[in-house]
Structure 1
């Protein structure tokens, strides 16, 4: 048998064996893609976990104390106690944020 033919057959077999490793369902390219997706999802999960902790703290403070409810009413609804004077300080606009006409 011709040594060149044997070399070509072996090379063809090697290529056929490498295909699933690189381009198959569980190939290296797919694994890298899934690892990237996993890293992105972990970032999203961490942001949501922090948000949930903050909301849990808000709920706890609203259920346990009157001060939190009073603060929420003042900040969100502009409510004031009877006899209080409301003073609002307005920051001057910077030159680059000046309204255009």
Structure 2
């Protein structure tokens, strides 16, 4: 009588464990989805870290010296110093073809 109860009990326990592994809460499919989402979030975080480092470097440049401020004013705002001339050379599209 005990000979057939133990294998049956082990089979039921094994079946329950397999069911919970494949179809229960936190199953294999959920684990795979979570791993993919984690990889995506890590990639996004790396991009954000790189952007933050670039912004901190730019902030430090602007806080430490006037050269960075001057360079930004010249390149983005088109400012010139006193006794300085600004020349803009515009090439026509017709002259490019010749």
Task: Give the deviation of 1:90 after TM superposition.
Answer: 5.3
Gaps of 5+ in 2: 1-10, 94-98
Distance 1:55 1:49 in 2: 10
Task: Rate the CA distance shift 1:88–1:19 in 2: closer, same or farther, 3 A.
Answer: farther
Q: Taking structure 2 as the reference length, what is the TM-score of the superposition?
A: 0.71
1:34-89 Cα deviation digits (max 9, x unpaired): 00000000000000000000000000000000100001111121111112222335
Deviations 1:5-59 (A, max 9, x none): xxxxx69x73x54221012221111001000000000000000000000000000
TM-score (norm 1): 0.69
Equivalent residue number for residue 69 of structure 1? 69
Give the superposed CA RMSD: 2.4
Structure 2 residue aligned with 1:99: none
Gapped regions of structure 1 (runs ≥ 5):
1-9, 94-101
Specify the SS of the correspondent of 1:88: coil
User: Residues of 2 paired with 1:91 and 1:57: CA distance?
Assistant: 36
Where has structure 1 moved over 3 Å in runs of 4 or more? 88-93
Structure-2 change in CA distance of 1:31 and 1:90 (3 Å): farther
